[in-house]
Amino acid sequence: MIEYLIKGVIFVIFLDIIAYWLSYKGIPIIDRAKWNWNIRLLSILFWPIAVFWFSLAFIEAYFKK
């Protein structure tokens, strides 16, 4: 169980870094992706689903520009 949560925490840190990188590059983050602490906690608990959701949102934001 602890490994599952650690993987979730690492995933959320990765998401924060990618979100910062996208804003630094001038790529707008999708409006529907509100990134707050509630979403972070849910992403830690359900990170396999969040990986899929993040991949779709990242591809959409990256290639939209």
CB atoms within 10 A of CB 50: 19
The boundaries of the domain holding residue 23 are: 2-64
Using one digit for the tens of pLDDT, what is the confidence trace for 15-59? 888 878 877 877 776 655 677 888 888 878 887 887 788 788 778
Domains in the chain, number: 1
pLDDT at position 33 is 61
d(CA 48, CA 21): 22
Supply the DSSP string of 1-64, one letter for each residue: -HHHHHHHHHHHHHHHHHHHHHHHHTPPPPTT----HHHHHHHHHTHHHHHHHHHHHHHHHHHH
Over the stretch 3-19, which tens digit does the pLDDT of each residue have? 888 888 888 888 888 87
Give the pLDDT score at 30: 62
pLDDT level of residue 60 (50, 70, 90 thresholds): confident
